[in-house]
Amino acid sequence: MLSEFLQFLFSGVTLGATYALVALGFAIIFNASHVINFAQGEFVMIGGMATVALLGAGAPMPLAMLAAILLAATAGLLLEKFAVEPARGASVVTLIIITIGASIALRGVAQLVWGKQFHALPSFSGDVPLQVLGATLLPQSLWVLGVSAAVVVALFGFFNRTLLGKAILAASYNRDAAQLVGINVKFVLFLSFGLSGALGAVAGILVAPITFTHFEIGIMLGLKGFAAAILGGLGNGLGAVVGGLIVGIAEAMGAGYISSEYKDAIAFVLILLVLFVRPSGLFGRRGTERV
Amino acid sequence: MSLLRVDGLCKEFGGVHAIADLGFAIHPGTIHSIIGPNGAGKTTLFNLITGVYTPSAGRIWFDGVDVTGRRPSDLAARGMSRTFQNLQVFFNMTALENVMVGAHLHLDRGFLAALLGLPRIRRADAALGDEAARLMRFVGLDDFIGASADAMPYGALKRLEIARALAARPKMLLLDEPAAGLNPTESREIDNVIHKVAEQGVTVVLVEHDMRMVMEISDHVLVLDYGRKLTEGRPAEVREDPEVIAAYLGGQG
Amino acid sequence: MRFLLRPKTGGLAILAAVIALLPLVLDNAFHFEIAITIGFNAIVCVGLNLLIGYAGQISLGHAAFVGLGAYGAGVLTASHGWDPLAAVGAASIGTGLLAFVVARPILRLQGHYLAMATLGLGIIIAIVLNIEDQITGGPDGMLVPPFSAFGWEPSDERQWYWLVGGFLWISVWLALNLIGSPVGRALRAVHGSEVAAEVVGVDTTHYKVLIFTVSAVLASLVGSLSAFYGMFITPNIASFFNSIEFVVMVVLGGMASTFGAVVGAAILTLLPQALTVLEDYEHLIFGLILMGVMIFMPRGLLPTLAGLRWRRRR
């Protein structure tokens, strides 16, 4: 009983940490630009696929990872520069379609360069499972949790302690006011896409040894990350992390106790139920319309 | 009998009392002004009366019926109409269509008839177009009858909102700062419009900062301060009230 | 001939002419098949445009309603021996009821939250169609018997073409009637300012629910008919990608333009056909075209072109 529950919990938290990273990517871009970036999942895909490809080309693991993260960050920067920036002031739907177009194009490139096969990335430190109260825990899960936690702490430090981080936050609260006090809002936007790209890649590299990777792996990861970001309340960093964990744990528990076939539906059932009760997510500001 | 009665009305926003234990009545056929310093809760009061906000406590009666917590569309059907301090114009339509939406409640709204484009729907719409144009001329928008709403200047949009509200044929018209942002000439024209509306028997409730306007056209003035009633009465009485003078000058009585 | 200059009657006349004359240049079954697909997509988009373009409410899950229509009709005829027409009716009523029930809580949401909820709903329905293979045949799909109505059975592509063409023309006519009516104005008012619409007596919830349901029923009807036409359906019909494609068609053609929705559907149905010659580069180019059009013509094709013409005339 307990061991079974623990088993589901481990896999849920591992999944949840990944979703949290993806959700954070959504939140950072949303805060800076009020754009929902439907290509977020493709950053995740790029992280995993590029690492696999570079390893295959003979690069050492740390170098391959670093290069993959930089590649995804670059993709983010390019997306901002050549697609989001020129479309400033377009409607929400138009921006959604632009990022969806970008996601299709990125998948197209990935399929051209890396093919349509599934790829496996070796675990960072072996595949010998640890036994915890009768449940097994993969060493890679510990990597996922540890790195995710470190990234979250680093991000919160960045946004609350550094001048640049505070500038990004300021720009997200009030663009015009930030511009007035001398913050280069354009640069902040540019940077936030790069940062989101890097975050997505980190998530992609961490899960690749567990889930395998594929040029279409980003679609579901991206959508579930979006669900997690909305669950926590769009633009709320802590909400994104909590939302990610809730979605991950709900998915693992649902798959374990209810139906493994409906695993992929659980995140969306959950988000619908939450939105019906709280239309701005769990931690979203409940806006009162000013008229 | 009063057209509108408010009793023990409260509205809290996260612990802040925007409106606290407010009670007053408005008699039909009068021009009633609500004044007070910035942040006194005037617009919040409007939003509560018209159902945009739900009160935390208290009751609102309109035309003899308890309407507390009713939706704005329901209140509109009972004869309440309003304009907004921050413009709420349908910028995706022409000026004339904006006014025509105002008459929504007085039209055949049947879905099937609309879908089939029945002649009676088209005839009613043509008649409505004439009526809307008449209302636009009534508020002085003669030059904008063929205009698209997003091509109109600010002053004209404020009048467009009045024309739209009048198209609903209200018993009570609430105007939230109709003269804000207007030059003195435009503001006198608004005076005129309000007078003409009142003459037709519509009760007018006004939130306004322009004291000249308030004192000239109101039958009755209600003064709010920090969400409470400071005083109310005829313009001349209110003007002399030491508490009102203190509130406006920020002194300590 | 003056009526041709009015956007509504003129547009309807042009559409009728295009539908009537197109068979002259379609010279094989494959061409007809593409034209029919364009028609199906266009009908869904005319309905979806009422929701997105006019009422300003996004839906990223409309393919699910197409899927429900397809499987509703398919399962009722293939497994339960229903008459095709009755099955189409039952599927659209069922889909309409579902849309009506979920519309109220979903359409309370705004902006990205609404996008999430409709997306979630669509994905859940697509997953159910995939998993419940006892009923739907699962990912392998299911066979659907041929269509017949009052003893008539469309026997070839040409007959299907006239059926779908007629259906499209009627949908456009109905949509234009609706838009020009008090109901249509109320929908646009909801888009312009919900609070202002409310205070003049427009029950915004009622209109949002109404138009969401109507667009879902239209999608369901298309789903049912296309199932009979193709005689084979897979859960892919309800996929997230298809939902997105419908939205793209609407936005590409031009939001709040019924003819724009038809043009958008035509272009986006033809584009992948044209791009197949690029083989491996197909998706890349498709994505880039999508981005380019939206960046340079954020208001969509038809309104942008109309704006250009207007400017030149001045």
pLDDT for res B221 = 94
Query: Does A291 fall in a domain?
Result: no
Tokens of B253: 């009585």
Cβ separation A100–C282 shorter than 8 A: no
Distance to chain B for C285, nearest Cα, Å: 34
ipTM: 0.91
Cβ separation A291–B13 shorter than 8 A: no
Query: What's C23's DSSP letter?
Result: G
* Number of CB atoms found within 10 A of residue B243's CB: 13
Of A104, A106, A279, the CB nearest to C286: A104
Q: How far is residue B121's CA from residue C180's CA, in Å, rounded to a whole number?
A: 9
Per-residue tens of pLDDT for chain C, all 314 residues: 455 556 688 899 999 999 999 999 998 999 999 999 999 999 999 999 999 999 999 999 999 999 999 999 999 999 999 999 999 999 999 999 999 999 999 999 988 899 999 999 999 999 999 999 999 989 999 999 999 888 888 888 999 999 999 999 999 999 999 999 999 999 999 999 999 999 999 999 999 999 999 999 999 999 999 999 999 999 999 999 999 999 999 998 888 899 999 999 999 999 988 888 888 888 899 899 889 988 988 888 888 877 766 555 44
Cβ separation A289–B85 shorter than 8 A: no
B213 versus A11: the higher-pLDDT residue is: A11
Q: How many residues does chain A have?
A: 291
- Three-class secondary structure of residue A124 per DSSP: coil
Cβ separation B85–A288 shorter than 8 A: no
pLDDT for res C111 = 85
> Which chain B residues have any C-beta within 8 angstroms of a chain C C-beta?
50-52, 71-73, 75-77, 80-82, 84, 88-93, 97, 100-102, 104-105, 107-109, 111, 113-117, 121-122, 125, 161, 164-165, 167-168
Residues in B touching C184 (Cβ below 8 Å): 114
pLDDT for res B252 = 45
For every residue of chain B, DSSP letters joined together read --SEEEEEEEEEETTEEEEEEEEEEE-TT-EEEEE-STTSSHHHHHHHHTTSS--SEEEEEETTEE-TT--HHHHHHTTEEE--SS----TTSBHHHHHHHHTGGGS---HHHHHHT-HHHHHHHHHHHHHHHHHHHHTT-GGGTT-BGGGS-HHHHHHHHHHHHHHT--SEEEEESTTTT--HHHHHHHHHHHHHHHHTT-EEEEE-S-HHHHHHH-SEEEEEETTEEEEEE-HHHHHH-HHHHHHHHT---
Cβ separation B76–C201 shorter than 8 A: yes
Question: Percent of chain B, pLDDT > 70?
Answer: 98
Give the pLDDT means over successive 10-residue stretches in chain A (291 positions): 91 95 94 91 96 94 96 97 88 89 95 92 88 88 95 93 88 85 88 95 95 91 95 90 96 93 93 91 67 58
Q: How far is residue A53's CA from residue A59's CA, in Å, rounded to a whole number?
A: 9
B214 versus C35: the higher-pLDDT residue is: C35
- Please, is C195 exposed, middle or buried when counting C-beta atoms within 10 Å of its C-beta (0-12, 13-18, 19+)? middle
Instruction: List the domains of chain B with CATH numbers.
Output: 4-79+170-249 (3.40.50.300)
Residue type, position B235, single letter: P
Q: How many residues does chain C have?
A: 314
Of A90, A105, A291, the CB nearest to C287: A105
Of B82, B92, B100, the CB nearest to C191: B92
Question: Which chain C residue is nearest to residue B76, measuring alpha carbons?
Answer: C201
Alpha-carbon dihedral of residues C191, C194, C200, C206, nearest 10 degrees?
80
Evaluate whether C157 touches C239 at the Cβ level (below 8 Å): no
C303 versus B223: the higher-pLDDT residue is: B223
What is the DSSP pairing of strand B220-225 with strand B31-35?
parallel
For every residue of A177-241, DSSP letters joined together read HHHHTT--HHHHHHHHHHHHHHHHHHHHHHHHHHH-B-TTHHHHHHHHHHHHHHHH-TT-HHHHH
Cβ separation C116–A275 shorter than 8 A: yes
- Domain limits for position A240: 2-277
Query: Does A163 fall in a domain?
Result: yes
Flag whether residue B50 sits within 8 Å of chain A, measured between CB atoms.
no
Evaluate whether C66 touches C222 at the Cβ level (below 8 Å): yes
Chains A and B form CB pairs within 8 A to the count of 11
* Number of CB atoms found within 10 A of residue C288's CB: 17
Nearest to A57 by CA among A113, A141, A116, A106: A113
- Please, is A253 exposed, middle or buried when counting C-beta atoms within 10 Å of its C-beta (0-12, 13-18, 19+)? middle
Cβ separation A288–B13 shorter than 8 A: yes
CATH code of the domain containing A49? 1.10.3470
pLDDT for res C178 = 95
Cβ separation B73–C203 shorter than 8 A: yes
pLDDT at residue B242 tops 60 = yes
pLDDT for res C309 = 60
**Cα distance between the two ends of chain B:** 35
B249 versus C126: the higher-pLDDT residue is: C126
Question: Which chain B residue is nearest to residue A288, measuring alpha carbons?
Answer: B53
Question: Percent of chain B, pLDDT > 90?
Answer: 73
Tokens of C155: 């026997």
Question: Which chain C residue is nearest to residue B84, measuring alpha carbons?
Answer: C196
Query: Does A210 fall in a domain?
Result: yes
Per-residue model confidence as pLDDT tens digits over B69-118: 999 999 999 999 999 999 999 999 999 999 999 999 999 888 999 999 89
Q: Which of residues 121-160 of C touch A (CB under 8 A)?
A: 121, 123-124, 127-128, 131
Chains A and C form CB pairs within 8 A to the count of 134
The total number of structural domains that make up chain A: 1
Cβ separation B84–A288 shorter than 8 A: no
Q: Could you give the count of Cα atoms lying within 13 Å of A215 in the half-sphere of its Cβ?
A: 18
Residues forming beta bridges with residue B205, ordered by sequence position: B32, B174
Cβ separation A91–C119 shorter than 8 A: no
pLDDT for res C9 = 85
pLDDT for res C313 = 46
Looking at chain C, which subunits does it touch, using at least 3 CB pairs closer than 8 Å as the criterion?
A, B
Distance to chain C for A129, nearest Cα, Å: 32
Cβ separation C195–A291 shorter than 8 A: yes
pLDDT for res B108 = 86
Query: Does A120 fall in a domain?
Result: yes
pLDDT for res B213 = 85
pLDDT at residue B251 tops 70 = no
Sign of the CA dihedral with C299 first, then C193, A229, and C219 last: negative
Query: Does A141 fall in a domain?
Result: yes
- Three-class secondary structure of residue A131 per DSSP: strand
Predicted TM-score of the model (pTM): 0.93
Greatest CA separation found in chain C?
63
